[in-house]
Amino acid sequence: MEMTDNVTGAEIVLKSLTEQGVEVVFGYPGGAVLPIYDSLFKQNSIRHILVRQEAGAIHAAEGYARSSGKIGVVLVTSGPGATNVVTGLTDSMMDSIPIVCITGQVPQHLIGSDAFQECDTTGITRPCTKHNYLVKDVNTLSSVFHEAFSIAANGRPGPVLIDIPKDVQFAKGSYQSSKETKIDSHRLFEPKIKANDQNIEEATKLIANAKKPIFYIGGGCINSGPKASKLVTKFVEETKAPATMTLMGLGVIGARNKYSLGMLGMHGMYEANMAMHECDVMVNIGARFDDRVTGRLDAFAPNSKKIHIDIDPSNINKTIKIDVPIIGDIESVMNQIFSSWKNNNYKSQKEDLIKWWNKIEEWKKVDCLNYNQGERSIKPQHAIKRLYELTKDKKTFITTEVGQHQMWAAQYYKFEKPNRWLTSGGLGTMGYGFPAAIGAQIANPDSLVIDIAGDASILMNIQEMSTAVQHRLPVKIFILNNEYMGMVRQWQELLHGGRYSESYTDSLPDFVKLAESFKAKGLRAKNVKELDDVILQMISSKETVIADIWVDKEENCFPMIQSGSAHNEMLLNKYQKQDETSAEKGKVLV
């Protein structure tokens, strides 16, 4: 694109977005962004999805980004518009989702005067963005945009915010194409794409000599792109070692792959956590030793050598001491690892691996996900299992809210591919799932997109029903309705003597009527006989659907490593109790 002179700031915004290949913007108008909305009105290449609350816009952008691998774009006004996206910015920062968020700001001469709808947006969002800008000169606007898009997607992805005072939106200036924009390399968090060869050699040697190896796979593999997941799977198969995935990493290795042990961590699989505890070589690929995964640190995989592959050096040695750090993009690191493995003619220790797998098979016999469905009321686990069985042959995207339903979804829904599972992992944001499903549906109009929700979480962004219906998005909301903030109730049962302080969700709406009032479809299953039929009706409908699934109210989510415990101290059912010292220490943890 040529240099273009004498265009308004608002037009530059649209030109920049167009040049960056943006197809969709999620937003909500207001005084401080009216010029941009005016420019939006005059063009056809970018589609605007009007949400009903700005939180919905940014979670939708997250869902869009995660399900498509593209950058999610958000446009909101100053003041309350900006503060309403703070949760979503923090969420995408924690889960490394590429977002560009445009906020309007009061005109420059009013900045600092407590003007109407003024807030210090860059100040508020500094710690929850990868970077942010307050643009003071219209002539820098296009280069700021080009840089922002690079920063959002580059290295470890994350949110970038651009705050544009209204006078800058009206001012005329020149447009610079991205080609003409020079970005200093230090500003791009230039990660080592290629890792240090010596560390690669050390790593493959450790893996080849391991007696009890395990792969611990995280969301970084998904961020690195679909090729990374394929390479990781191939390497796991080559070594024949067991692999476990974090909440964020589900789908990197197909759930039905025989080397997959499923999810690890607080509500992870018994066999996965036990194997982590007993391994002698741990290969962390794109995970960050989150406290939900490690459990008590002094008892975390105590006899293991640890290899950690990550693009962000700050993740190395943050909480866990690493023996072989490998800093680089997973796709290229995996290629390096493969060549090293081949060049050295490495083979895994066959005999040892047989013993290792035998041990794992023993752990599997515990059958940690078993439950007793019975004939009448629906077990939440069973609801997810049936949902999986009835949707597994379609291209299905699952989003979730936060709570027990989220963990049951992670445990009982089997993900075969990356980018199909969208859940708020790091921040644990209730209200994430529904707008994220809207974003995923926009990016994948012909796919089945289901938000697995809890009755409390869904009310946090229920206003987006209106968005879904307006844009004819056949998103499905599958509520595991237990009339409780189930996960809170579970912790109160385990840690606070069963005093269910404020965790009962009283005065719930009639979800069927609620759906109907938005001109969407409402369905309900009250017992197990009705379940399959409701699921089938839901997935065959072309409308937005709320399926209200009445589940057992007091079911708890197991297995569970309670805070303060270690991987080998899992509780498998409600009859087991945490030992007292761990419980005392764990109580203060979240």
Ligand X SMILES: Cc1ncc(C[n+]2csc(CCOP(=O)(O)OP(=O)(O)O)c2C)c(N)n1
Any idea which residues carry the catalytic annotation?
Answer: 54, 116-117, 166, 487
Least distance from ligand X to the Cβ atom of residue 478, Å:
11
Residue 322 contact among ligand X, other proteins, none, beta carbon within 5 to 8 Å by kind: none
Binding partner selected for residue 428 from ligand X, other proteins, none, CB under the kind-specific 5 to 8 Å limit: ligand X
Alpha carbon distance 327, 195 (integer Å): 6
For residues 3-22, one letter each, b for 16 or more C-beta atoms within 10 angstroms of the residue's C-beta and e for the rest, the string is eeeebbbbbbbbbbbebbeb
Tell me the HSE value of 149 on the side-chain side, using a 13 A CA sphere: 20
Output the smallest distance, CB 387 to ligand X, in A. 14
**Cβ proximity to ligand X, 115 vs 124, nearer residue:** 124
* Under rule CB under 8 A, residue 316 binds other proteins: yes
Please give the size of the binding site for other proteins, defined by CB under 8 A: 32
Among 224, 396, 404, 419, binds ligand X (CB under 6 A): 404
425 lies in the binding site for ligand X (CB under 6 A): no
Query: Which region holds residue 431: left if phi is over 0, alpha if psi is between -120 and 50, else beta?
Result: left
AA letter at 11: E
Phi and psi at residue 195, in whole multiples of 5°? -90, 165
Q: Which of 52, 379, 386, 405 binds ligand X (CB under 6 A)?
A: 405
Find the shortest distance in angstroms from Cβ 132 to other proteins. Answer: 8
Whether the CB-CB separation of 98 and 129 falls below 8 Å is answered with: no
Binding status of residue 35 toward ligand X by CB under 6 A: no
Interface with other proteins in residues 504-533 (CB under 8 A): none
Alpha helices in 140-268 (DSSP H): 141-153, 166-170, 197-209, 220-223, 226-239
- Contacts (CB under 8 A) with other proteins, residues 119-138: 122-123, 126-127, 130-131, 134
Comparing CB distances to other proteins, the nearer of 64 and 145 is 145
- How is residue 16 written in tokens? 């920049």
* CB-based contact 320:288 (threshold 8 Å): no
Question: Which residue from 265, 286, 403, 522 is in contact with ligand X, where contact means CB under 6 A?
Answer: 403
**Segment 259-298, which members bind other proteins (CB under 8 A)?**
291, 294-298
- In the complex, the smallest distance separating the C-beta of residue 95 from other proteins, rounded to whole angstroms, is 16
| Contact call for residue 589 and other proteins (CB under 8 A) | yes
The token duo for 340 is: 């090293």
For residue 404, the partner it binds in other proteins, ligand X, none, with Cβ less than 5 to 8 A by kind, is: ligand X
| Between 73 and 384, CB nearer to ligand X | 384
Rule CB under 8 A: is residue 303 a binding residue for other proteins? no
Please tell me whether residue 314 binds other proteins under the rule CB under 8 A.
Answer: yes
- Rounded to the nearest angstrom, the gap between the alpha carbon of residue 383 and the centroid of all alpha carbons in its chain is 22
Query: Which listed option, other proteins, ligand X, none, makes contact with residue 441 (CB within 5 to 8 Å by class)?
Result: none
Please tell me whether the peptide bond between 559 and the residue prior to it is cis, using omega within 30 degrees of 0.
yes
From ligand X, other proteins, none, interface partner of 1 (C-beta below 5 to 8 A by class): none
Least distance in angstroms from the C-beta of 328 to ligand X? 33
d(CA 35, CA 431): 30
Tokens of 288: 């960050």
In the complex, the smallest distance separating the C-beta of residue 174 from other proteins, rounded to whole angstroms, is 21
Q: Which position among 90, 96, 429, 563 is part of the footprint of ligand X (CB under 6 A)?
A: 429
Q: Is 435 in the site for ligand X (CB under 6 A)?
A: no
Chosen residue from 237, 312, 352, 530 binding other proteins by CB under 8 A: 312
The Cα 230–Cα 208 span in angstroms is: 20
Residue 106 touches which of ligand X, other proteins, none (Cβ within 5-8 Å per kind)? none
Q: Identify which range of 13-21, 45-53, 239-247, 428-436 contacts ligand X by CB under 6 A.
A: 428-436
The least distance separating ligand X from the CB of residue 482, rounded to whole angstroms, comes to: 5
Is residue 492 a contact point for ligand X (CB under 6 A)?
no
Phi, psi of 558 (to 5 degrees): -130, 160
Per CB under 8 A, the list member of 317, 343, 573, 576 interacting with other proteins is 317
Measure the CA–CA gap between 116 and 78, rounded to whole angstroms. Answer: 9
Dihedral pair phi/psi, residue 561, rounded to 5°: -100, 110
Interaction between residue 482 and ligand X (CB under 6 A): yes
For 344-349, the CB contacts below 8 A with 24+ separation are 344/201, 344/204, 344/205, 344/208, 346/204, 346/205, 346/207, 346/208, 347/208, 348/207, 348/208, 348/210, 348/213, 348/239, 348/240, 348/241, 349/208, 349/209, 349/210, 349/211
DSSP string, 315-350: GTTSSS--SEEEES-HHHHHHHHHHHHHHTT----H
DSSP one-letter code for 438: H
The footprint of ligand X (CB under 6 A) covers 401-405, 428-431, 454-457, 480, 482, 484-488
Give the residues lining the site for other proteins (CB under 8 A): 122-123, 126-127, 130-131, 134, 151, 184, 186-187, 189, 291, 294-298, 312-314, 316-321, 563-564, 585, 589-590
